């Protein structure tokens, strides 16, 4: 009888303490952070209000930067859409994942960032521009090629932002976003965030926007009117004979940016209203920049600042607070996956080649990265050989840009003294020691990456990619393991 009474008392005590013990257990294992990763196409780092650009009207990004870590040396290691996205997804360099040109396919057996989050208990979502499927820019992308994303509203690629198509889930029915796709896609992202915030599982959402990539003059009139009479400042590295064209392009370019800024502000507000801001990692970045007349060129691929340097904001109040700071880390495209996984407390796959900077950002590790690699394996498209395109490999430090082509040293800039890269110091005897040091760093890096720096067409032939007479992949061709399918 006494034993029964003791047992009943013990059970009663456990019943009373159970909620307390359960709560304590939850306190010891907090929910992993959500991730909202916003990537835009062709936005150069210098073109924001918080970076000092007087052209830019970006009040929401300016507020976000004031409450975030601003990674001022974020680099697009191969400044082209598809190669960047493949590095973002895999944490690998282009000669490892083999995606060194636009419109080729990322191997679906790769370990991707979405697969890691999904396998770690996250719900995964992707909205917008995909551009790593390689089956044609308007083709249906089946679930087997979603690379780990569950929620899916995406298209391979379009720059018709006011008649923008997409496929939803595993349906092959082509749908269209209502109006300007930045607005429609951002609103869909806000809906997804609101719904996921009510659930117990953490989520990761990638929102991939097409603008401010040209065509520049297609943003809604509401945003274009803000710049119509604005006195646009033009950088000194833009030749005089093209300045009028550059001015008109800049008006359209910044109009897209202000539209994006407006809806980033609304997404941020959604996160706040859902009560999840403290434990949500918000990232804003771009796949590469835009030359927009700098050095007489447009678009990307080239190793100039306007092409390779991109904005990168990390907002994570639970870990970093809300006092804005600037980080000098040399964050390259393959470094994003391991750094995000590190900030999320998740294991980093052995397949990843990039650097995990999460410890440096948290202040628990020293930054020992002094340089990072930039490259163009094969010139094509808007910078094909007829337009001066050529293979290069280069090194970026916090002060210098150094690049060589197949004939030897090509460019050397002291970005601290010459931010617009007006004076090429390659071959300058006063910088011989600097050039030699950078060349040794480059050779060591290429050896580490097992990069033999061969002519681009050798790599094209090695992996059986299909190209046209300009050495460019046709937009409607499958390019993976030698297969070719026309839509």
Which residue numbers are catalytic?
Answer: 81, 131
Ranges of H-type helices in 287-381: 305-308, 317-320, 336-343, 358-362
Angle between helices 336-343 and 81-90 in degrees, nearest 10: 40
**In which residue are the tokens 């990390």 written?**
314
Handedness of CA 326, 330, 332, 336 (dihedral sign): negative
Q: Is 433 helix (H, G, I), strand (E, B) or coil?
A: helix
In what helix (H) or strand (E) does residue 86 lie, and over which residues does it extend? helix 81-90
CA 417 to CA 309: how far, in whole Å?
17
Q: Is 207 helix (H, G, I), strand (E, B) or coil?
A: strand
Q: How many CA atoms lie within 13 A of 447 on its CB side?
A: 6
Assess contact for 337 and 354: CB atoms under 8 A: yes
Q: What is the DSSP string of 132-195?
A: ---S-TTS---GGGSTT-SEEEEES----TTS-EEEETT----EE-SSSHHHHHHHHHHHHHHH
CA angle 479–484–487, rounded 5-degree value: 100
Residue of 249, 161, 177, 143 lying closest to 210 (CA atoms): 161
Conformation bin of residue 431: beta by default, left when phi > 0, alpha when psi is -120 to 50: alpha
Assess contact for 208 and 248: CB atoms under 8 A: no
Q: Is 464 helix (H, G, I), strand (E, B) or coil?
A: coil
């Amino acid at each position: 009888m006494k034993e029964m009474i003791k047992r009943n008392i013990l059970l009663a005590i456990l019943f009373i303490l159970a909620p307390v013990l359960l709560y304590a257990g939850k306190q010891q294992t907090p929910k992993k952070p959500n991730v909202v990763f916003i990537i835009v196409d062709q936005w150069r780092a210098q073109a924001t209000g918080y970076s000092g650009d007087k052209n830019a009207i970006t009040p929401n990004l300016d507020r976000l930067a004031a409450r975030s870590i601003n990674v001022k040396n974020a680099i697009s290691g191969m400044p082209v859409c598809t190669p960047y996205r493949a590095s973002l997804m895999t944490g690998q360099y282009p000669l490892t994942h083999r995606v060194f040109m636009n419109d080729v396919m990322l191997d679906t057996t790769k370990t991707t960032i979405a697969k890691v989050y999904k396998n770690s208990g996250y719900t995964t979502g992707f909205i917008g521009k995909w551009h790593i499927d390689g089956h044609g820019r308007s083709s249906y992308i089946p679930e087997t090629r979603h690379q780990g994303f569950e929620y899916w509203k995406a298209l391979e690629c379009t720059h018709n932002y006011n008649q923008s198509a997409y496929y939803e889930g595993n349906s092959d029915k082509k749908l269209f976003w209502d109006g300007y796709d930045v607005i429609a896609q951002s609103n869909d992202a806000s809906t997804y965030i609101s719904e996921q915030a009510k659930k117990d599982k953490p989520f990761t959402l990638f929102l991939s926007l097409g603008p401010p990539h040209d065509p520049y003059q297609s943003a809604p009139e509401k945003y274009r009117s803000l710049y119509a009479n604005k006195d646009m400042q033009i950088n000194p590295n833009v030749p005089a004979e093209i300045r009028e064209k550059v001015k008109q392009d800049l008006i359209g370019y910044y109009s897209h940016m202000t539209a994006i800024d407006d809806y980033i502000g609304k997404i941020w507000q959604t996160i706040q209203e859902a009560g999840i801001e403290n434990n949500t990692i918000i990232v804003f970045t771009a796949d590469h920049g835009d030359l927009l007349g700098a050095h007489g060129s447009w678009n990307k691929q080239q190793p100039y600042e306007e092409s390779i340097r991109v904005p990168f904001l990390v907002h994570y109040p639970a870990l970093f607070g809300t006092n804005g700071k600037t980080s000098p880390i040399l964050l390259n495209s393959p470094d994003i996956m391991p750094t995000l996984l590190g900030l999320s407390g998740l294991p980093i796959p052995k397949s990843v080649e990039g650097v995990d900077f999460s410890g440096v950002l948290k202040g628990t590790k020293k930054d020992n990265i002094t340089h990072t690699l930039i490259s163009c394996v094969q010139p094509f498209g808007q910078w094909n050989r007829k337009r001066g395109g050529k293979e290069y490999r280069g090194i970026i430090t916090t002060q210098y840009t150094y690049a060589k082509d197949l004939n030897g040293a090509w460019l050397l800039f002291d970005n601290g003294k010459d931010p617009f890269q007006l004076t090429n110091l390659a071959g300058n005897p006063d910088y011989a020691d600097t050039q030699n040091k950078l060349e040794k760093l480059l050779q060591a890096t290429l050896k580490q990456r097992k990069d033999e720096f061969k002519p681009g067409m050798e790599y094209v032939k090695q992996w059986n990619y299909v190209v046209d007479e300009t050495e460019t992949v046709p937009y409607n061709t499958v390019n993976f393991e030698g297969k070719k399918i026309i839509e």
